[in-house]
Amino acid sequence: MLTAGPDAAGSRIDQWLAAELAPELSRARLQALVKGGSVSVNGRAVTEPKTKLAGGETIVVVLPEPEPAAPAAQAIALDILFEDDQLIVINKPAGLVVHPGAGNPDGTLVNALIHHCGDSLSGIGGVRRPGIVHRLDKDTSGVMVVAKTDQAHRALSEAFADHGRTGDLERAYWAIVWGMPERMTGTIDAPLGRSGKDRTRRAVVRETHPDARHAVTHFTTLERYGLRPDATAEAALVECRLETGRTHQIRVHMAHIGHPLIGDRDYGQAFSTKANRLPEDVAAIVRAFPRQALHAHLLAFRHPATGDLLRFEAPPPADMQALRDALRKLSGA
């Protein structure tokens, strides 16, 4: 129960409630509650968010039980790095799709989280579901954070949208690429957009392209495999840090500078024959690698409720470590 003071006179009820109940409830959520008849003023329900207050009213907001999530709960094993009542951090395996969609109606991370979290999901937008604030491609492994409450979802979404420019968000990936960038460290600043009519593939495009999105990736070469006298190499382990977070950004950017990820069938297929130059035991492991060699090894962010700086690291999964070990057999590792 809330009481509107004299200073509330002339305020819209949705705006006033949003100020009073932030950050627990967003204005959009409160507007939905008003329209659904869950807000009363002096004992009478109001259904119009634009309703003006006169000051002195008694206002009651009734939060309905979160609706069941549409995706089904499924018992899928999760590698949990951290969990509390606000969020959960997991080490996602390669091959696991994040969210149900066309071609993947179930068996996703969302299905697994609904099963694992159960009633600890307080409802994102009134629905008992996990709040996805960032994604990893199906065949990319590594650290992900997922919100369990509206408050956490909103705060984390804002942090990821800002990409750490004004906060403490830190995201780093390991990529094993063909060849070796000319410089040990560098920045790729190249806008991305759709590749032709393909809805999923991306390409570097001109800034004037209709759907061009600003995209910046910083990279550092960590290991070189098969180093040659001319300072080139057969392959390299590169750490990539995102200043923006576009679809397939690392994969497209590394391909753009001539060093696509090993195993990337979308952006590096033309480089697959380079395995023929490797010793047969190494080449066999490279050819058999089933996905793009990309792993989100580091994620750091401020906890949305406590303000504590949380930092999580995940070692490379077995398949990527095996690829790395094989390439280290080449000179210059």
Residue 307 burial (10 A CB sphere; 0-12, 13-18, 19+): exposed
- Of 7, 79, 137, 168, the active-site residue reads 137
Tokens representing 119?
Answer: 């009633």
Q: How many CB atoms lie within 10 A of CB 58?
A: 12
Place of tokens 């984390």: 156
Q: Which helix (H) or strand (E) holds 34?
A: helix 27-35
| Residue recorded with tokens 């606000």 | 86
Pairing of strands 309-313, 80-83: unpaired
Q: How many CB atoms lie within 10 A of CB 207?
A: 10
Q: Indicate if 137 belongs to the active site.
A: yes
Q: Where are the alpha helices (DSSP H) in 69-117?
A: 109-117
**CB–CB of 173/124 below 8 Å?**
no
Residues with a known catalytic role: 137
